[in-house]
Amino acid sequence: MTALYTRFCRSVLFPLHERLKSHSSVAQRRALEQSQWFNAETLQAMQLQNLRRFAATIAANVPWYQRLFSEHHIEPASMTLDDLQRLPRLDKPTLRANTEAFKSRVANKLARFNTGGSSGQPLIFFLGERVSHDVAAKWRATRWWGVDIGDKELVLWGSPIEVGTQDRIKNLRDKFLRTQLFPAFDLGESGIKQFIKSYRAFRPAHLFGYPSALARVAAYAKQHHVDLKQNELKVVFVTAERLYEEQRALIREQFGASVANGYGARDAGFIAHECPEGGMHVSAEDIIVEILREDSTPCRPGESGEITITHLRTSDFPFVRYRTGDVAALSTQACRCGRGLPMLERIEGRSTDFVFAQDGTAMHGLALIYVVRDIAGVHSFRIIQHSVDELEVMLVTTEWDAVRDQQVIDGMRARLGQSVSVKLNHCAHIPTEANGKFRYIISHVRM
């Protein structure tokens, strides 16, 4: 329960605490609202200054970087972007094998997280100071769309576990943040109807959720001639998956509001947000985005490659040249909105399939991912739904026993149906897709 409570604190109580005490998120957001209008040159100078401060801090306090900087003869206080590019890229196996060496000796209030992430391999990592930065960056982007913290927000999100503590979260959020949480895991017909009922009663100014989940609601409304348009609704924020243009069009048409995409991940941070002119602006003050080829050389502007992140507000558990596994290109254009923040384009590579229970209930794929992810000893996994009656779980494990086999089977059956055949396939390695991307869930069922 400790991890759950920590997650609850991190995701809800801490930001709330920050807001109530008007601490660093508020100050950071104000500063970010100034700097977004700086020109590219000024922003680069500011980023370099932040890089040097960050590098000096981690060289002094984080064993991993103390060693790495000295091996590469890098002087943190005068570090350049070229120096940064001489450091090796950081991948999940390295982080996994050296977790303790990444912790700052002077860190306090580090919260433990784990994620299936887009790689499908569970990763344990720690978050500290950057939470307030990411809150501030998201908050800035929210205001681009004429909505603010405190405006009514309906969130279509959540894990089965979070839904278990939902009443507590819901009460708190309702009371202080005017945010209502609706679980995204049961989006069969009755789930969609309930969501629409909540949406109509609550009349939010903004919606937030997975594009696939909101597109399902929109498709249902279209098919059944349900009118979702409400004057109060200004914008629909989507994130965590690739947003397909047909999903954007469907959501916009049915809800009668603009769709704003966000790109980020729990491990990599909130990286880019879409502005009303359509630019995916990077929070470049504190996040250095490199787009790299497979051989680690930089892509030209406009050329697609792997998104690699250095997050300058992670000095208590640094993410330096962290490989996200996602693909995009750096835009060569300036945005019509006038902000100097650089932009990403053609973000690809994230996809989460819906899965279907035996009774036809549609569920977000994360509902199954959480079953496997939270069991100790899982190194990586892939879940393949061959049919509504047949599921395969590929597992690479470090330590394992029959009890955990049964846990996986029981967890899958609890969600999909008791007579589903669950085949466990223990293997040494799970191959990536042809495009190099690791998909952690694949469903061949279409309904």
Under the rule (CB under 5 A), what is the footprint of Zn ion? 275, 277, 279, 335, 337, 339
Residues 6 or more apart whose CB falls under 8 angstroms from that of 188 comprise: 357, 359, 360, 361, 362
Answer whether 317's CB lies under 8 Å from 110's CB. yes
Any idea which residue has 């932040």 for tokens?
A: 50
The token duo for 220 is 């249902």
Helices 63-71, 40-61: crossing angle, 10 deg rounding? 110
Task: Considering the complex, state which of residue 339 and residue 437 has its C-beta at the smaller distance from Zn ion.
Answer: 339
Answer whether 253's CB lies under 8 Å from 221's CB. no
Task: Considering the complex, state which of residue 227 and residue 277 has its C-beta at the smaller distance from Zn ion.
Answer: 277
Nearest approach in angstroms of CB 29 to Zn ion is: 18
Any idea which residue has 């966000």 for tokens?
A: 262
Residue-wise DSSP of 50-105? HHHHHHHHHHHH-HHHHHHHHHTT--GGG--HHHHHHSPPB-HHHHHHTGGGGS-T
Nearest approach in angstroms of CB 153 to Zn ion is: 22
The token duo for 292 is 């790299």
Residue-wise DSSP of 365-431? THHHHHHHHTSTTEEEEEEEEEETTEEEEEEEESS--HHHHHHHHHHHHHHH-TT-EEEEEE-S--P
Task: Considering the complex, state which of residue 145 and residue 208 has its C-beta at the smaller distance from Zn ion.
Answer: 145
Task: Considering the complex, state which of residue 40 and residue 81 has its C-beta at the smaller distance from Zn ion.
Answer: 40
Task: Considering the complex, state which of residue 117 and residue 279 has its C-beta at the smaller distance from Zn ion.
Answer: 279
d(CA 176, CA 178): 6
Answer whether 379's CB lies under 8 Å from 394's CB. no
Nearest approach in angstroms of CB 285 to Zn ion is: 15
Nearest approach in angstroms of CB 426 to Zn ion is: 48
Nearest approach in angstroms of CB 275 to Zn ion is: 3
Answer whether 195's CB lies under 8 Å from 182's CB. yes
Nearest approach in angstroms of CB 344 to Zn ion is: 12
Which of helix, strand or coil describes residue 319?
A: strand
Nearest approach in angstroms of CB 346 to Zn ion is: 16
Task: Considering the complex, state which of residue 116 and residue 279 has its C-beta at the smaller distance from Zn ion.
Answer: 279
Task: Considering the complex, state which of residue 279 and residue 365 has its C-beta at the smaller distance from Zn ion.
Answer: 279
Nearest approach in angstroms of CB 141 to Zn ion is: 10
Task: Considering the complex, state which of residue 84 and residue 337 has its C-beta at the smaller distance from Zn ion.
Answer: 337
Distance of CA 344 to the CA centre of its chain: 16
* Burial (CB count <10 Å: 0-12, 13-18, 19+), residue 417: middle
Nearest approach in angstroms of CB 77 to Zn ion is: 34
d(CA 336, CA 220): 35
Task: Considering the complex, state which of residue 279 and residue 325 has its C-beta at the smaller distance from Zn ion.
Answer: 279
Any idea which residue has 């969501």 for tokens?
A: 195
d(CA 213, CA 252): 14
Task: Considering the complex, state which of residue 293 and residue 346 has its C-beta at the smaller distance from Zn ion.
Answer: 346
Nearest approach in angstroms of CB 143 to Zn ion is: 13
CA torsion through residues 243, 245, 248, 251, sign? negative
Looking from the CA of 332 toward its CB, the CA atoms found within 13 Å total: 6
Task: Considering the complex, state which of residue 275 and residue 420 has its C-beta at the smaller distance from Zn ion.
Answer: 275
Nearest approach in angstroms of CB 278 to Zn ion is: 7
Torsion angle of alpha carbons 425, 428, 431, 437, nearest 10°? 100
Nearest to 212 by CA among 263, 253, 260, 246: 246
